[in-house]
Each structure stands twice: as structure tokens, then as C-alpha cells.
Structure 1
Amino acid sequence: MNRTLGSTLLVSGTMIGGGMLAMPLTSAGMGFGFTFLLLIAIWALLTFAALLFVEIYQTADHDAGIGTLSAQYFGKAGRVISTAVLMIFLYALLSAYVTGGGSLISGALDIADNDTMSKLTIVLFTLIFGAVVTIGTRSTDGLNRLLFFIMLAAFVLVLILLVPNIQFDNLLAMPIDTALFISASPVFFTAFGFHGSIPSLNNYLGGNIKALRFSIITGSLITLSAYILWQLSTHGVLSQSSFLDILKTDPTLNGLVNATLQATGSSTIAWVVRIFSALALITSFLGVALGLLDAIDDLLKRVFKTSANRLSLGLLTFLPPLLFALFYPQGFVMALGYAGQMFAFYAVILPAAIAWKARQAHPNLPYRVGGGTAALIIVAILGAIIVSIPLAIKAGYLPFVVGA
């Protein structure tokens, strides 16, 4: 039960991070009503897809990575494609969190204008929390639990402070363009992005399918509730015009914090929002980094038939996103959008395809996600649509949103 609790908090903590913090900026032109509907739709889709992985793991070793699962049903080509997409997704997501973490720290220390000091905060953020992940899953679980409950307390305090400032008229704002509902989907997808950690969680739970299923459903429901309350508060406090002004001047987490300060006139609220934002980024960083490290380990062991020590795995995990953050410090939301495109393939299309093959090979699995083959086809089509959205935005067929 202790590990089940830890896994549940890792699922929720991984999601409640950079994606959540970027969502108010991404949904600026949508209004709260459309944002609420999009949250529900994407939560349902991605929870369904995550449960497909639970079903699939009944047919594999508990320490198998996603690349190994793909190879089991689609051969070498399946491993190559799934591993490449997973690596791009996790590296992009980790790059966003490293960049965002450095931005928040430099903003808190009022050194955002000092390029050298800002880069130093990025390095320190990566070294400190990367070391925890490199040590092992148990240390990551322990720190995540501590930070998650502190973050929860900060979140409750944020809501208590923001709710009295909510203007009901702000919540009734209509979309400036209804097509934004589609354009915002990839970034919202990323906000539910815990799927890269599923292999690590399954291994941590010793292949206990019931515990993994419980962790996914409970953790995702906690996250959905937090997202709805967060969007209610930010959309209620900041008018649509205020959001759009943020996008013009400072479309970063620090800009969102400063906008909160201007809207409420309370430095206390701004500081609590900043603290909550930092904790949210750290917990997401821990979950995503753990998934990436284990994916690299799985790749080395099963493809290259070699094993690396934890220090080497740590360098392979954290050096690329650190370099991205140092040379492109303004890339937080852009990296999230790119990760969202990769994530749609990895977390939706891939599990639907593997589940289809697994059901053919193992027709009598004890646990099977409902909906049958029709549900798998619908999920795969929706995933393909999500993957194509950024391309449609660049081609001018859909309106631009932050992060796309």
C-alpha cells in the first residue's frame, strides 16, 4: 500500500507541473467554459490510453520498457519508432521543466535580467533534483511525497487567496475564436503527460496490475480536480484582455506571476503562486526524469546489451535538456508544445496499436479496458488528429496559441 500511495502521487505530481502552469496562457482566448470542456475530454482520452498500458503489461515482464513492449508485438521497427518518439517526448518535456525551473528561481531572486546568473540557476536546478533521480526510484518517491504535500498545501492557500478576487463576468468570457478549442489540445495533452513514467511505476510496483490501475485512475482524478480549480481561479481573477496582454509582453511563468500580482495587488498571493509553481515544476521534473532515465536504461540493456551505472545514466538523461535550457532559455512553452505533438503519438496511438495486437495474441487477459476494437480505432484517430494540429497551425488553417 505504501508503494501504491507513492505511485499515485508520482502520477499526479508528474502531471501537475509545467503543463498546468502554461495552460492559463494557452487558453487565454478560449474562456473558462471551453477550457473546462477541453480538460474533461482530454482527461478521459488519456486516462483510457494509460489503462491500455496496464492491460498490455499483463503480457510482459514488469521491468520491460515501452520499447520492449513495442518490439514484442511489432518487431525491431516497433522498437525503433516507439523509442525515438519516447526519447524526443521526454527530452522535450524535461527541457521545458529545466527552463521553467530556472526562470522561476531567477525571477524569485530578481536576477532574471542577468544572463549569467539566470543560466547558473538553471544548472543548479538540474544538478540538485537530477541527483535525486539518479540515486534511484526510492529517493525520487520520498522527495516527491514531501514536495507533493507541501505543494498541495500551497495550492489550497493559492485558492483561498484567489477565490475572493474572482470576477464572475471573467468566467463568462466567450472564445475569441472557437477553433482555439482544437489549437490548444496539444499543450493540454502535455498537461496530462505522465505516461512516460508508467514503465517505472510498473517496475516499482512489481507488476501489480491492480495497484498500477488504482494509481493511474486516482492520480489522474486528483490532477483533473486541481486543473479545474486552477483554471477557475486564474480565469476568474484575470480578464481575457489581461491574459492577452501577458502573451504580448511576457508569455512565461514569471509573467503569469507578475500578472497575478497586478490583478490582485497582493504580493503575498504572487509569492504563494510562485512557490506553488516551483513545487509543481519540481514534482513534474522528478516523474518525467525518472521515466527518461529508465527508458535509456532499458534501451542500453535490451538493444545494446550493455549496462551503465547510475552516474552515466544521469548524464545521458540530464545533459541534453540542460544544454537546451542554457542556449534557449525562452523555450519553455515552445518545448511543451513540441512535447505535446510527440506525446499524442506515444501515449494514444501507440498503446491503441499494441493493445490491438496483444488482444489477438492473448484473447483471455484477466483485465481488459472496455470499448472493444471500436474504442481503439477512435482513440487512434483522435491521436492522429492531435499530432497534426501543430502542422495545421503552422499552415494557417488553425489559430495560433501559446505553446503550439
Structure 2
Amino acid sequence: MKNKTLGGTLLVAGTTIGAGMLAMPITSAGMGFSFTIILLLILWLLLSYSALLFIEVYQTARIDDGLATLAEQYFGAFGRIISTLSLLIFMYAILSAYVTGGGSLINGLLSAGLGYDTGKLSIILFTVVLGIFIIIGTSSVDAVNRLFFFSKIAVFLFVLLMMLPRVSIDNLMAMPINNALMLSAAPVFFTSFGFHVVIPSIVKYLEGDIRRLRIAILVGTGIPLFAYLLWQLSTHGVLSQSQFLQILQQDPTLNGLVNATREITGSTVLSEAIRVFSSLALITSFLGVALSLFDCLKDLLNRVKVRSNRASLGLLTFLPPLVFALFYPEGFIMALNGAGVMFAFYGLVLPVGLAWKARRQSPNLAYRVWGGNPSLLFALLLGILIIAIPFLVDKGYLPHVIG
């Protein structure tokens, strides 16, 4: 029983840590350390709350039901269609972010060696090489993912050991260049706690046990939160805000983060360690999301009775993010922003709506998330705000973040 709780906790933690973590230093460069920490804590509380709402609603369903089935149970066929579409768009958007981010890192490495820009080639290489593992099958993904996951943890610890002694209090005390940046960056940071797609798997794995599910969610999100705080302490503490912003204006990608680290610290070892860590983090996240999207598309096509094979499913999975990356090679933050908007619906608006309906239809549920209906309303308003932020930025009401 204890091992299952630990397994569920690690599944939450492993799914949570992804590209959003890599985007943090870029999007928060103008915010300053203090505002960044406040935003992280708010989003951690908000998304842990919404995940617990899903657990509450699962008391009224079978433990092997998916989230789309829950949506259909309370909102009919329209609920299933909307939840499925939001999930698909979210996965396509975040996969696009992984492809652009991975391509920029490989481009930085190949361009230095070959002496010319390899942007499009790097993007294609990243997508095709990793996509092959997905098309071969889950066993090949599992084998390569284990190797990359443990390597990622080891490199991250190495990066922290190198960066933390270099932290400057003056850098941490840097003030935001615009207080409203905390709002503008929210959709990107929102994806940093995006583990909700695996909730059905965790519910089934832990057999619907409320106590163990609560532990898995709260501890499983607490681990990434602690890692994020250390990551932000390291990057904000080591990288001078003015220099960092100047370099990012020229290259607003993950490769820009690597270059900024090398120029500001003068350490090639540290900058390349960050490149390796970023690459490994993108690879493990890419494999997990791509496999989920691949299986989701397979189930969807089977449901509408359209025949498919692994090659055609591979094209459906990878062609849209590849096309996006080829047309927007610096679109890492743009893609994450779009993913954050879709996830705000899937991970916040949807569970609020489900919980509201479930409480009305089943008023005697054994477990209810703290806060009652006022908390549901507050979470719903925050979800709508996060969805609206990109439009407010486009209209000039909020400042643009880097990238």
C-alpha cells in the first residue's frame, strides 16, 4: 500500500516537471525573484486544489473512467467533445513547445561545430529521432525514458551544485521592470504544474482511495515546487537581470539561456551542463506527451471507426508540431502560452464545473475539498483570467514577456 502511494506520488512529480520549468528563467527575467516565487506558490495552490476537485468528483464515477467520460456524465456529449478537444489542443501546443525548444538547443550545438545555422535541420532531427521511439512502441519509449530520466536528475543536481555557490543577494533583490509581468507570465508558468492528464491513471492505480490520492497529489506537486524554487534561486541569483534581459532580447530561446549563462558567469562547463539538462528535460517530457497524444489519437480514431496504423498515427502526432516549429523556430514561449490557455480550461474550469454539478446531484459525498462554493467561484474566475491574459497582452493592456 505504501509503495503504491509512493508510486502515485512519483508519477505526479514526474509528469509535472517539464518544459514549463525550462521556460521559467526566460519568462521571469523581468519579474525579479520575489514576484516569481509568489506566482509559483499561487499556481501550486490553485492547481493542487483543482486536482483535488477531480478526486472529489471521482467518488461519483467508476475508477476506470477517463476525464472525458466524467465530462460526458455531467455535461453530455458536448462535455465530452469540448474536454477531448481541449486536451488534444493542449498536447499539440506543448509538443510544439518541446520541438522548438529542442531544436534551438541542438541548433546551438551544431551551429557552433559546423559554422552555419542549422535551425530547420535541428528541428527535424529532434522530431524524427525521438518520434521513431514512439512509433516503434511503448516498450522502446520506456527503455530510453528511464535512461534519460535518471541522467536528467543527476545533471540537475550537478547544475545546482555549480550555481548555488555563485548566487548573489543583489541579483535576488532585483525589482520587476513591470509589476504586471506576473500576470503576463501566468499562462506559461501554469503549464509547470500540468499533471492533470494522468489523474485517471492515478485514481485507478490507487483504487480510488481518497487519503492516498490526496497524499500523492500534495506531495507529488510539492516535490516539483521545491525543485522549481531551487531552480529560480539559482538562475535569478546567478544571472544579472539587466545582462540576462539584453541577451534574451537577441535570442529568446533555451539556447539564449545557455548563452546568457556562459557570458555572465564565464563558465563553459556550467552553460553546457544547463544545455544538457534542458535537452534531457525536453526529451523525457516530449516522450511522455507524444506517447499520450499518440494513444489518444488512436482511441479517438477507433471510436469513430477510422482505421489507422502506427505510421499514420505517427504522422498525425508529429506533423502539426513539426510544421509549427519550422515556421516559428523561436516560438517556444508562444507555444507554451497557448498550452497554458488550453490547460487553464482543462485543468481548472472543467474540474470546477464538474465539482459544482457533482455537489448539486450528490450532496452527501464523503469527501469534499475545502472552501465550498466560494472557492469554486474564485478558482473559476482565476481560470477565466488566465485564459484571457494572452488576449489582454495582444491588445496592449498587459506587457509582453520575453519570447
Corresponding residue of 2:152: 151
Structure-2 separation of matches of 1:123 and 1:74: 41
Equivalences for residues 178-257 of structure 1 within 5 A: 178-202=179-203, 212-257=213-258
Instruction: Report the CA distance shift for 1:230/1:212 in structure 2 as closer, same or farther (over 3 A).
Output: same
Contact conserved, 2:249 with 2:402, CA < 8 A, in 1? no
Equivalences for residues 2-401 of structure 1 within 5 A: 5=6, 7-110=8-111, 114=116, 117-134=118-135, 140=141, 143-202=144-203, 212-302=213-303, 304=304, 308=308, 310-401=310-401
Structure-2 separation of matches of 1:11 and 1:142: 20
Aligned with 2:111: secondary structure? coil
Aligned with 1:370: secondary structure? coil
Q: 1:56 offset after TM fit, Å? A: 2.5
Q: 1:10 offset after TM fit, Å? A: 4.1
Q: 1:98 offset after TM fit, Å? A: 1.3
1:70-128 deviations in whole A, cap 9, x for unaligned? 1111012212222222221111111100111122122223369756x443433333334
Query: Given residue 219 of structure 2, which amino acid in structure 1 is its aligned partner?
Result: T
Aligned with 1:109: secondary structure? helix
Contact conserved, 1:252 with 1:332, CA < 8 A, in 2? yes
Structure-1 separation of matches of 2:208 and 2:320: 31
Aligned with 1:110: secondary structure? helix
Structure-1 separation of matches of 2:319 and 2:274: 29
Instruction: Report the CA distance shift for 1:188/1:3 in structure 2 as closer, same or farther (over 3 A).
Output: same
Structure-1 separation of matches of 2:218 and 2:194: 14
Q: Which moved more, 1:205-214 or 1:190-199?
A: 205-214
TM-score w.r.t. the length of structure 1 is 0.90
Contact conserved, 1:194 with 1:287, CA < 8 A, in 2? no
Query: Given residue 80 of structure 1, which amino acid in structure 2 is its aligned partner?
Result: I
Q: 1:371 offset after TM fit, Å? A: 1.9
Instruction: Report the CA distance shift for 1:295/1:359 in structure 2 as closer, same or farther (over 3 A).
Output: farther
Q: 1:189 offset after TM fit, Å? A: 0.5
Sequence identity (%): 60
Structure-2 separation of matches of 1:108 and 1:237: 23
1:337-387 deviations in whole A, cap 9, x for unaligned? 111111111111111101211233333444432222222111111101111
Contact conserved, 2:187 with 2:340, CA < 8 A, in 1? yes
1:243-274 deviations in whole A, cap 9, x for unaligned? 21023111100010011011111111111111
TM-score w.r.t. the length of structure 2 is 0.90
Instruction: Report the CA distance shift for 1:13/1:139 in structure 2 as closer, same or farther (over 3 A).
Output: farther
Instruction: Report the CA distance shift for 1:97/1:217 in structure 2 as closer, same or farther (over 3 A).
Output: same
Q: 1:149 offset after TM fit, Å? A: 2.5
1:47-68 deviations in whole A, cap 9, x for unaligned? 1112222233333344433322
Contact conserved, 1:137 with 1:204, CA < 8 A, in 2? no
Structure-2 separation of matches of 1:296 and 1:346: 17
Contact conserved, 1:197 with 1:288, CA < 8 A, in 2? no
Instruction: Report the CA distance shift for 1:199/1:254 in structure 2 as closer, same or farther (over 3 A).
Output: same
Contact conserved, 2:188 with 2:337, CA < 8 A, in 1? yes
Query: Given residue 292 of structure 2, which amino acid in structure 1 is its aligned partner?
Result: G
Query: Given residue 370 of structure 1, which amino acid in structure 2 is its aligned partner?
Result: W
Structure-2 separation of matches of 1:210 and 1:353: 23
Gaps of 5+ in 2: none
Query: Given residue 48 of structure 1, which amino acid in structure 2 is its aligned partner?
Result: Y
Query: Given residue 243 of structure 2, which amino acid in structure 1 is its aligned partner?
Result: S
Instruction: Report the CA distance shift for 1:14/1:41 in structure 2 as closer, same or farther (over 3 A).
Output: same
Q: Which moved more, 1:304-313 or 1:227-236?
A: 304-313
Contact conserved, 1:66 with 1:295, CA < 8 A, in 2? no
Aligned with 1:87: secondary structure? helix
Contact conserved, 1:13 with 1:280, CA < 8 A, in 2? no
Structure-2 separation of matches of 1:26 and 1:196: 24
Structure-2 separation of matches of 1:282 and 1:336: 16
Structure-2 separation of matches of 1:82 and 1:43: 22
Structure-2 separation of matches of 1:192 and 1:242: 29
Contact conserved, 1:17 with 1:277, CA < 8 A, in 2? no
Contact conserved, 2:33 with 2:173, CA < 8 A, in 1? yes
Gaps of 5+ in 1: none
Q: Which moved more, 1:17-26 or 1:256-265?
A: 17-26
Q: Which moved more, 1:327-336 or 1:309-318?
A: 309-318
Q: 1:279 offset after TM fit, Å? A: 1.3
Instruction: Report the CA distance shift for 1:382/1:273 in structure 2 as closer, same or farther (over 3 A).
Output: same
Query: Given residue 390 of structure 1, which amino acid in structure 2 is its aligned partner?
Result: P
Instruction: Report the CA distance shift for 1:140/1:34 in structure 2 as closer, same or farther (over 3 A).
Output: same
Corresponding residue of 2:402: 402
